[in-house]
Amino acid sequence: MEDTPSENNIDISIVVPVYNEEESLPELEKAISKALSADYSYEIIFVDDGSSDKSWQQVLTMGAKKDFIHGIALSHNYGKSVALQAGFEKAQGKYVVTMDADLQDDPNEVPEMVQILKDGYDLVSGWKKERHDPISKTIPSKFFNFVTRKVAGIELHDFNCGLKAYRAEVVKNIYLYGELHRYIPMLAKREGYTRITEKVVTHHPRKYGKTKFGLSRFMNGFLDLITITFVQRYLQKPMHFFGTVGVLLLLAGGGINLYMALLKFVYGQGIGDRPLLFLGILLMVVGVQFFSTGLLGEMINKNNVKDQKPRIREVI
């Protein structure tokens, strides 16, 4: 299919999700411009995901000086997926590139990625082969990628890489919410965009600020679980809560029942009147209930999800 014609003849839209990255933004803009300005027309869309630092002021300052810089300020922190989705909707280029704001992704990779798209691919995912992140991130990430690769049937090594390039049509035909940014290649494939490949990309250590994801974020966020944030978050993603509880209960119940089976069949003990047996069965039954409640919630929610647009505070 032809590339989406764009009124403004913009070759590349760079979409950058921004959550408290004030120090990086001017440097990032310079690096992008240096990499692209000679050969391409481009725009940069910074999507401020409810930053509490001066990120948005930075975007406004840059946008006032340079007309290829655009910004969207979300009313509060919705998460990376929602930020990207807002950027995708505004993007006007023939090709859309996503890039993290923290200078870990290298804009110099963009021309080659775009060339791969021109050669006929729908999606090029970056592969941080030599990743500069702490081991607490790289090991879970290896596991995540292994599982996703198997489930998705897409041979990518680094699904979570923030640096990805798409033919515009791809991002216009998928819809991101929750934590779906990790699964864009799967969503694209489902829509029929099967020409998916990867490119090894340079990855820099984080220069300013700190990561918004990872163990510490989880721990710090723990208290939030009890607050309304928790309720709101899982109102949108029922499966995250009910599904997790369900799986945990199933595992616990399954473990107990396995132990019971061992007692009976290996050690020949009678287990008919053991309370533990009842507990095991109970946990499994409740686990299945929880899981299917989550699934049901998610299915009902899918239909409403497009109505849950983020509230945009300002656009430039």
Residues near Mg ion (CB under 5 A): 100, 102, 104
- Binding part of the chain for ligand UDP, among 74-82, 109-117, 246-254, 259-267 by CB under 6 A, reads 74-82
Using the minimum distance from each CB to ligand UDP, give the nearer residue, 149 or 212. 212
CB of 40 within 8 A of CB of 12?
yes
Partners of 47 in beta bridges: 17, 72
Among 143, 213, 222, 265, binds ligand UDP (CB under 6 A): 213
Is position 71 an interface residue for ligand UDP (rule: CB under 6 A)?
Answer: no
In three-state secondary structure terms, 164 is strand
Using the minimum distance from each CB to Mg ion, give the nearer residue, 13 or 20. 20
Is position 278 an interface residue for ligand UDP (rule: CB under 6 A)?
Answer: no
In three-state secondary structure terms, 299 is helix
In three-state secondary structure terms, 250 is helix
Handedness of CA 124, 129, 134, 136 (dihedral sign): positive
- Binding part of the chain for ligand UDP, among 28-36, 77-85, 123-131, 234-242 by CB under 6 A, reads 77-85
Using the minimum distance from each CB to Mg ion, give the nearer residue, 10 or 16. 16
Neighbours of 134 (CB within 10 A): 13
Question: Any residues with CB less than 8 A from the CB of 304 and at least 6 apart, and which?
Answer: none
Among 92, 202, 211, 289, binds ligand UDP (CB under 6 A): 211
Around 143, how many Cα atoms within 13 Å sit in the side-chain half-sphere?
5
Using the minimum distance from each CB to ligand UDP, give the nearer residue, 25 or 284. 25
Q: Given strand 312-315, what is the order of strands in its sheet? A: 196-200, 123-127, 164-167, 95-98, 12-18, 42-48, 69-74, 312-315
Is position 287 an interface residue for ligand UDP (rule: CB under 6 A)?
Answer: no
49 binds, among ligand UDP, Mg ion, none (CB under 5 to 8 A by kind): ligand UDP
Residue spans of beta strands (DSSP E) within the chain: 12-18, 42-48, 69-74, 95-98, 123-127, 164-167, 196-200, 312-315
Least Å from the CB of residue 122 to ligand UDP = 23
Is position 93 an interface residue for ligand UDP (rule: CB under 6 A)?
Answer: no
Least Å from the CB of residue 116 to ligand UDP = 23
Least Å from the CB of residue 188 to ligand UDP = 19
**Footprint on this chain of ligand UDP (rule: CB under 6 A):** 17-19, 21, 49, 77, 79-80, 83, 100-102, 104, 162, 211-213
